[in-house]
């Protein structure tokens, strides 16, 4: 389960964007009308940028988020009232499902099997909506007009509200349990923003302004994803060595640094396989991510990790590292064998060496070297222990 702090941060960023654009609509009388008139063109420009960046970073789900909004806006703008109303009803029903599908599907290149499948699915959606616009289904329209709630969500149909609530619930579960918080939290806010855009469609400029808000959210996700790719380890989701080097440059006069290693990890990998070894790394990293004492954990490389404690002395920091060591040692890890159809419970141990910086240290790298020497002593003295230098 994701920590409440991380969930709050990841929900607040896209929510703040939606709130700013919603406030612009609410305070429309005090905002120059020319700003609202260029909102669609800003959305087109953002979409073009997203398409270009997504193509290079192989993050094409963002393209599929924005293109339907472009088509819906064009339909609302240029179709006659009957067709625009039908597009509104179909969009309110299909787009939330579309969002969930492209959220859960893994990223693959356009030319891969999964990439081509997503392209085919998107084209199928487009043709389905175009077909329904030109050859309306009486049964579907009757279903969409079914009255379910005592209160009215007009102009949004009750069936679309139920679909939206269900998908919001699924996304909420993913926010709580799934490790890709950036995506899950942002897509949940995008879903809510989309329904706000449809609910206030009769308010001048509200829909295109809130569609633009979704475009900004997607653009911000791309920036955050680019940062994550550069500074975070893909396997453990902890900051990587590059992030460690950047953060060490920001340290003040007093800090503690811990170097940590998983005991007998090579032997473990050779015995149970690299897939199980990766699971061990993820389990240990999940513990490190919640270290106390204002500490921040990094994956240094392989089975080695680093924890920085800014403005903390070694004695205070030692308590938190030793608590991590005990927690990991007491956490059972189940190794399953597909061939033998059996499982085995084992325990993983870590060793750590930690030091506080002194006036004799030239830079944080010399502190790291001393912490590495303390780690070596921890291993030589029996492992599963923390040594203070």
Q: How confident is the model over 110-121, as a mean pLDDT?
A: 80
- Cβ atoms of residues 306 and 257 within 8 Å: yes
The pLDDT tens digits of the residues spanning 225-249 come to 888 878 888 888 899 988 998 888 8
* Residue 369 main-chain phi, psi, to 5 deg: -65, -40
- Cβ atoms of residues 262 and 303 within 8 Å: yes
Query: Is the pLDDT assigned to residue 30 strictly greater than 80?
Result: no
Are 217 and 255 found together in one domain?
A: no
Please state, in angstroms and rounded to a whole number, the distance separating the CA atoms of residues 294 and 298.
14
Nearest to 278 by CA among 307, 333, 236: 236
What six digits make up the tokens of 180? 């890709």
Are 68 and 87 found together in one domain?
A: yes
- Does residue 209 form part of some domain? yes
Are 20 and 79 found together in one domain?
A: yes
Are 149 and 193 found together in one domain?
A: yes
Are 176 and 128 found together in one domain?
A: yes
- Cβ atoms of residues 258 and 271 within 8 Å: no
- Cβ atoms of residues 129 and 87 within 8 Å: yes
* Residue 332 main-chain phi, psi, to 5 deg: -70, 140
Considering its fold, how many domains does the chain have in total? 2
Decide the pairing of beta strands 255-262 and 304-310. antiparallel
What six digits make up the tokens of 1? 């389960």
Are 382 and 246 found together in one domain?
A: yes
Residue that finishes a domain, picked among 203, 231, 259: 231
More confident residue, 59 or 352: 352
Query: Is the pLDDT assigned to residue 115 strictly greater than 90?
Result: no
Which position has the token pair 């910086």?
357
Q: Which residues contact 205 (CB under 8 A, 6 or more apart)?
A: 25, 28, 36, 37, 39
- Does residue 151 form part of some domain? yes
The pLDDT tens digits of the residues spanning 121-178 come to 999 999 999 999 999 888 888 888 888 988 888 899 999 999 999 999 999 999 988 7
Q: How confident is the model over 175-195, as a mean pLDDT?
A: 90
Residue that finishes a domain, picked among 210, 231, 252: 231
Are 169 and 63 found together in one domain?
A: yes
- Does residue 214 form part of some domain? yes
Please state, in angstroms and rounded to a whole number, the distance separating the CA atoms of residues 330 and 287.
12
Are 16 and 155 found together in one domain?
A: yes
Q: Concatenated DSSP letters for 242-302?
A: HHHHHHHTT--S-EEEEEEEETTHHHHHHHH-HHHHHHHHHHHHHHHTT-STT-EEEEEET
Residue 307 burial (CB count, 10 A): 25
pLDDT at 298: 94
- Does residue 78 form part of some domain? yes
Residue 234 burial (CB count, 10 A): 9
- Does residue 236 form part of some domain? no
Please state, in angstroms and rounded to a whole number, the distance separating the CA atoms of residues 118 and 62.
12
Are 281 and 302 found together in one domain?
A: yes
- Does residue 363 form part of some domain? yes
Query: Is the pLDDT assigned to residue 102 strictly greater than 80?
Result: yes
Q: Which residues contact 324 (CB under 8 A, 6 or more apart)?
A: 287, 288, 291, 350
Please state, in angstroms and rounded to a whole number, the distance separating the CA atoms of residues 4 and 19.
21
Are 215 and 262 found together in one domain?
A: no
Peptide bond into 155 cis (omega under 30): yes
Identify the domain containing residue 325 by its residue range. 241-388
CA dihedral defined by 135, 141, 144, 147, rounded to 10 degrees?
170
Please state, in angstroms and rounded to a whole number, the distance separating the CA atoms of residues 359 and 316.
19
Query: Is the pLDDT assigned to residue 341 strictly greater than 70?
Result: no
Residue that finishes a domain, picked among 169, 200, 231: 231
- Grouping H, G, I as helix, E, B as strand and the rest as coil, residue 173 is helix
CATH of the domain at 259: 3.30.70.270
Decide the pairing of beta strands 386-388 and 350-356. parallel
Are 194 and 338 found together in one domain?
A: no
End-to-end CA distance of the chain: give it in Å, rounded. 35
Are 196 and 308 found together in one domain?
A: no
Average pLDDT of the residues of the chain? 88
């Amino acid at each position: 389960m994701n920590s409440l702090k991380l969930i709050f941060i990841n929900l607040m960023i896209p929510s703040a964007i939606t709130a700013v654009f919603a406030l612009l609509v609410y305070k429309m009388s005090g905002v120059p009308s020319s700003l609202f008139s260029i909102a669609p063109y800003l959305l087109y420009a953002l979409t073009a940028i997203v398409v270009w960046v997504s193509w290079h970073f192989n993050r094409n789900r963002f393209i599929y988020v924005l293109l339907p909004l472009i088509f819906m806006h064009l339909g609302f703008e240029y179709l006659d009232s009957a067709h625009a109303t039908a597009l509104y009803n179909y969009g309110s029903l299909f787009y939330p499902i579309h969002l969930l599908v492209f959220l859960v599907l893994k990223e693959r290149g356009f030319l891969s099997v999964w990439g081509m499948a997503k392209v085919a699915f998107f084209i199928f959606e487009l043709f389905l909506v175009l077909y329904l616009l030109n050859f309306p289904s009486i049964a579907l329209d009757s279903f969409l007009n079914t009255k379910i709630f005592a209160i009215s969500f007009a102009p949004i149909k009750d069936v679309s509200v139920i679909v939206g609530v269900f998908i919001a619930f699924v996304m909420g579960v993913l926010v709580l349990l799934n490790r890709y918080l950036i995506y899950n939290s942002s897509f949940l806010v995008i879903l809510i923003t989309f329904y706000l855009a449809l609910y206030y469609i009769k308010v001048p400029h509200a829909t295109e302004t809130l569609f633009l808000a979704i475009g900004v959210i997607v653009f911000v996700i791309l920036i955050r994803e680019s940062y994550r790719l550069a500074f975070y380890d893909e396997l453990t989701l902890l900051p990587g060595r590059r992030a460690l080097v950047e953060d060490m440059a920001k340290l003040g006069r007093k800090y503690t640094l811990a170097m940590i290693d998983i005991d007998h990890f090579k032997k473990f990998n050779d015995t149970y396989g690299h897939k199980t070894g990766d699971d061990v790394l993820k389990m240990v990293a999940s513990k490190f991510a919640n270290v106390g004492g204002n500490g921040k954990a990094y994956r240094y490389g392989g089975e080695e990790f680093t924890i920085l404690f800014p403005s903390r002395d070694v004695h205070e920091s030692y308590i938190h590292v030793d608590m991590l060591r005990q927690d990991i040692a007491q956490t059972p890890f189940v190794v399953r064998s597909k061939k033998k159809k059996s499982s085995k419970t084992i325990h993983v141990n870590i060793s750590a060496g930690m030091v506080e910086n002194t006036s004799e240290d030239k830079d944080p790298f010399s502190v790291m070297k001393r912490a590495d020497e303390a780690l070596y002593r921890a291993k030589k003295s029996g492992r599963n222990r923390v040594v203070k230098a």
